[in-house]
Amino acid sequence: MPELPEVESIRRVLEPELRDLRLARVHIARRDVIRDPGGRRRGPIERSHLGVGSRLRSVDRRGKQLILGFENGSSTVVRLGMSGRMEIPTGRRGSVPPHRHVIWTFEHPDSHSRRLWFIDPRRFGGVHLAVDPGDLSDRLLGNLGPEAPGLRPSEISSALRRTRRCTKTALLDQGVVAGIGNIYADEALHRAGIHPARPACGLDRSEVTRMCRHIRAVMLEAIEAGGSTLRDHRLPDGSPGGYRDQHRVYGREGAPCPSCGVVLEWMRVAERSTTYCPACQT
């Protein structure tokens, strides 16, 4: 389940591998993974919208979205959803994985061409095409809140104050803060000592400050470790992320709290499985 740390880890591998290469072709094995609901354009996909013939100028990330920026002004936004991953296949052997929906082929000046695969068994993810920077910022990135790794209290305090939703639900809302998913919401709230079901509007200033500090810390540590591999997440070379070993609560219900030793409890918040410490989190 790629959240911001997983996407950022993937981005860091892709950027030096692919930047400045010319995109020779794109093969779309499954048409319906190209999603542009409400997009400016309908109908057939044009080569220029895919960046074909253009150089890849940037590999960026905003929240959980991976953004390939091409010289012609178009951008390809990849959302990994639940089970999506990006792979740069190495060499000629190795079997073709199932659910390989999109193949980008880049020309390499002095070696064989380099390919990039989008693989997504559950297809909660998808690929969005922005025709120009305005299209990208308005339609695809326009509703995202501030980035989680640099989150300041002033950036979310008003959003939290005006909602009665559970604090965890608010953190999962990408418009409130971009990049947090189920794993890191549980981890950050545990470290901050805040109960996931606390109404967001009931947090006081010091709690919001503390929560932001722990969100930043969890994000940076997880990025450093290459993200959390539970089952699906892999870096583009196939290696797993190592942050799972540092999870304090996620997936550990019934085990002792690493801070106080009390048995961690499980509950459902916003239809999401949630693990927390009934003693540390109030």
Active site residues: 2-3, 64, 272
Which window, 19-27, 53-61, 189-197, 269-277, contacts DNA (CB under 7 A)?
269-277
Q: Least distance (Å) from DNA to the CB of residue 159?
A: 9
- Distance (Å, whole) CA 62 – CA 71: 19
| CB of residue 56 to DNA, shortest distance in Å | 23
- For residue 43, give the amino acid letter: G
- φ/ψ of residue 217, rounded to 5: -65, -45
Binding residues for DNA, total number by CB under 7 A: 33
Please tell me the distance from the alpha carbon of residue 43 to that of residue 218, in angstroms, as a whole number: 42
Single residue of 157, 163, 209, 229 touching DNA by CB under 7 A: 163
Q: Is 79 in the site for DNA (CB under 7 A)?
A: yes
Distance (Å, rounded) from C-alpha 56 to C-alpha 69?
A: 6
Q: Is 55 in the site for DNA (CB under 7 A)?
A: no
In whole angstroms, the minimum distance from the beta carbon of 20 to DNA comes to 28
In the region spanning residues 188 to 227, those forming contacts with DNA, defined by CB under 7 A, are none
For CA atoms 90, 93, 98, 100, give the dihedral sign: positive
Regarding 174 and contact with DNA (CB under 7 A), the answer is yes
Under rule CB under 7 A, residue 182 binds DNA: yes
Closer to DNA by Cβ: residue 20 or 94 = 94
From 14-22, 49-57, 207-215, 270-278, give the range in contact with DNA by CB under 7 A: 270-278
DSSP 88-123: ---SS-SPPPTTEEEEEEEE-TTSS-EEEEEE-SS-
Query: From CA 159, how far away is CA 20, in angstroms rounded?
Result: 39
Dist. CA 71–CA 122, nearest whole Å: 32
Is 122 a binding residue for DNA by CB under 7 A? The answer is: yes
Q: Is 81 a residue that touches DNA (CB under 7 A)?
A: yes
- 172 binds DNA, rule: CB under 7 A: yes
61 part of the interface to DNA, by CB under 7 A: no
- Residue 239 as a binder of DNA (CB under 7 A): the answer is no
CB of 77 to DNA, least distance (A): 10
Q: 191: exposed, middle or buried (C-beta count within 10 Å: 0-12, 13-18, 19+)?
A: buried
Residue with tokens 């980008």: 104
Helical axes 4-18 vs 205-224, angle rounded to 10° = 40
Residue 121 as a binder of DNA (CB under 7 A): the answer is: yes
Binding site for DNA (CB under 7 A): 1, 3, 37-38, 63-65, 79, 81-83, 98-99, 121-124, 143, 162-165, 169, 172, 174, 181-183, 231, 270-273
